[in-house]
Amino acid sequence: MAQGNKHEPLLRIVKRGESPFRLKLLVRIAAVLLALIADALFIYFVTGLDPLAVYTTMFQGTFSTPMRFSWAMRDLASLLLIGIALAPAFKMRFWNIGAEGQVLMGALATAAVMVYYGGKVPNAVLYAAMLVAAVFAGALWGFVPGWFKARLGTNETLFTLMMNYVAIQLVACCVNIWRGQASGLGKLNMRSKAGWFPQLFGQRYNINLIIVVLLVVLMYCYLRYSKQGYEIAVVGESENTARYAGINVGKVIIRTMILSGALCGLTGFLIVGGRDQTISTTTAGGNGFTAIIVAWLAKFNTFYMALISFLLIFLEKGAGEIASAYNLNDFASDIIAGIILFFILGSEFFINYKPIFHLGKHGTITKEAA
């Protein structure tokens, strides 16, 4: 072996089989720690502030008061729900970048029902109508790119991305009509509160939290234990294998996208009814994009998704807190989150691949066992 080693490269990369859980955990923890160090360096060099003090302040953004915590939970619910909605599509390797638009369509349908039927029908009927309209609108927004992908192989990444802007313009149009001469839309049905979720344990959005927890479990079981979940996994691994196994790939794609879109629509319903009681073009607030990262990093495991969503929300709230405490601005959270995401994304490499270094003159393999 020593003979041929002249041409051995210094660094060779080998694909790992299944990595042990311990390694996965270690790599991820190391990635987050390194990212926090990188963020600390960034904070120190840019602002000259003591990073530890900054991180303490950051911690307060979520945990200082019960109120703060419940706000964090409220925002977590929206983000996590979209992540759950995206999971089946992504597991199928269908790049649904259109969650933003699907959520907006759900929200728009909900708001439309509230505007046109609020106070005219009994509350129970109103809620049902809002829910059905939202789920249908979201499902439609997922169905269209899904159908074209299944029938014509149209690129779904770009299709769903464009559908976001169509949805945004539709919302802008409706808001423009509904606000009339007023400068803004304000809360819908302010006086009658028709269509507003009832308060549960003192908060309207506790209903959202309960639904999210339920869906975390349901989606986990759907993907892991149901026949449809299995079909999704096979299509995601290889469409040819799926076809060979007798799975109707087109049908699975369309069905999964309807599900994904419907759940996004449901999120829109919960945001409008349970959180905002109004609608604007920023109702989804970029969560549709952030949720993609959540779903991908968690490898479609809904419980990991809850963890990662929490981490991201924690960062966002923390950065807001830093901003007000040190007179910086909210955009710090984008940078901090960006750096953390880069590190976590990069760390996947060490889970899936094994670098082998060839050092020394005679090709001594120094890092074979890892």
Partner 1 sequence: MDTFVAWILRAIPFGTIIMYGAMGEIITEKSGNLNLGVPGIMYLGGFAGFASAYLYENSVADPNMAFCVALALVCAFLASMAGGLIYSFLTISLRANQNVTGLALTTFGMGVANFFGVFILDGRTATQSLVYKTFQTRLPVLSELGVIGQMVFGYGFMAYAAVILAVVLHHILNHTRTGLNLRAVGENPATADAAGINVTRYKYLATCLGAGISGLGGLYYVLDYNQGIWATTGQIEALGWLAVALVIFTTWKPLNAIWGSYLFGMLYWLYQFLPTLMGFSVPGYVTDLIQMVPYLVTIAVLIVTSMRKKREDQPPASLGLAYFREER
Asked if residue 119 binds partner 1 (CB under 8 A), the reply is no
User: What's the rounded Cα separation, in Å, for the pair 306 and 222?
Assistant: 17
Interface with partner 1 (CB under 8 A), residue total 50
Out of 64, 65, 176, 238, the only residue in the binding site for partner 1 (CB under 8 A) is 176
User: Is 340 in contact with 315 (CB distance < 8 Å)?
Assistant: yes
User: Is 154 in contact with 288 (CB distance < 8 Å)?
Assistant: no
Out of 290, 301, 302, 309, the only residue in the binding site for partner 1 (CB under 8 A) is 290
Give the three-class secondary structure for 136.
helix
* Beta-bridge mates of residue 365: 358
* Beta-bridge mates of residue 364: 359
Give the three-class secondary structure for 330.
coil
The residues near 300 (Cβ < 8 Å, ≥ 6 apart) are 87, 88, 90, 91, 223
Q: Which C-beta is closer to partner 1: that of 263 or that of 291?
A: 291
Q: Which C-beta is closer to partner 1: that of 230 or that of 349?
A: 349
Q: Which C-beta is closer to partner 1: that of 276 or that of 316?
A: 316
Asked if residue 292 binds partner 1 (CB under 8 A), the reply is yes
The site string for partner 1 over 11-50 (x = CB under 8 A, - otherwise) reads --xxx-----------------------------------
The residues near 59 (Cβ < 8 Å, ≥ 6 apart) are 318
User: What's the rounded Cα separation, in Å, for the pair 315 and 321?
Assistant: 10
Instruction: For the segment 317-356, give every residue that binds partner 1 (CB under 8 A).
Output: 328-329, 331-339, 341-342, 345-346, 348-349, 352-353
Q: Which C-beta is closer to partner 1: that of 51 or that of 70?
A: 51
The single residue listed with the structure tokens 């923890």 is 29
Instruction: For the segment 145-164, give every residue that binds partner 1 (CB under 8 A).
Output: 148, 152-155, 157-159, 161-163
Out of 174, 233, 311, 365, the only residue in the binding site for partner 1 (CB under 8 A) is 174
Output helix, strand, coil percentages for the chain, rounded to the nearest 5.
70, 5, 25
Interacting residues toward partner 1 by CB under 8 A? 13-15, 95, 97, 148, 152-155, 157-159, 161-163, 165-166, 169-170, 172-174, 176-177, 289-290, 292-293, 296-297, 328-329, 331-339, 341-342, 345-346, 348-349, 352-353
